[in-house]
Amino acid sequence: MKTPLCTFCLKSGILCPKCQEKVEKGEVSELDIQIAKELLELETRFPTLKDVELKKCVEIGPLVIILVGEKDVSSVIGPSGKIVKLLSKKLNKKIRIVGESTDIRKTIQDLLAPAEVLGVNVVWLPDGSYEKKVRVRRSDAKKLPTDIKTLEEAIQCLLNERFRIVME
């Protein structure tokens, strides 16, 4: 498994100078370390995790978002969702696995699934700035993994842009 920290540091619990520097600079959070350790332990039971690339982890309210390589989403979810369920029990939080992609809509779709994203539009504001609007069917409101405010924060944190979720 590829993580922001070296495998030796994760297994030993003692960070080398290079990994310690990443933590001090804020490139790697305590949550990143915790989830990387958990996934490393699960790697023996689930061999598909060996090829997974862990990018970063974000905790927003009751939700933990794990950003992985674009093709690694199904590997981290695991057979019948077993890996995500185990992580969810350990952390006692809801977990969403999101694939890092250059396509904003795909990233948002991973986060909001099983609700369907109808579109992502740019809304220009009177002061010349803009924000992006994520359109979701009103009938899919119950399918959202958590409340809209938390999801908006999560999208903004992942993509570093202002987003608003609108139910149509």
Clarify whether residues 18 and 73 are in a common domain.
Answer: yes
Domain boundary among 83, 100, 117: 100
Residue 68 has a pLDDT of 92
Q: Is a pLDDT exceeding 90 seen at residue 66?
A: yes
Give me the number of domains the chain comprises.
2
How far does the chain reach from its first CA to its final CA, in angstroms? 40
pLDDT tens per residue, range 75-98? 999 888 899 999 999 889 899 999
pLDDT tens per residue, range 98-142? 998 888 899 999 899 889 999 999 999 899 888 899 999 999 999
What range defines the domain where residue 166 resides?
Answer: 102-168
- 162 pLDDT band, cuts 50/70/90, is confident
Helix/strand/coil (H/E/C) assignment for every residue in 91-112: HCCEEEEEECCCCHHHHHHHHH
Residue 85 has a pLDDT of 92
Clarify whether residues 107 and 82 are in a common domain.
Answer: no
CA dist 89 and 102 (Å) reads 31
Q: Is a pLDDT exceeding 90 seen at residue 164?
A: yes
Clarify whether residues 44 and 83 are in a common domain.
Answer: yes
Residue 101 identity (one-letter amino acid):
S
Average pLDDT of the chain to the nearest whole number: 90
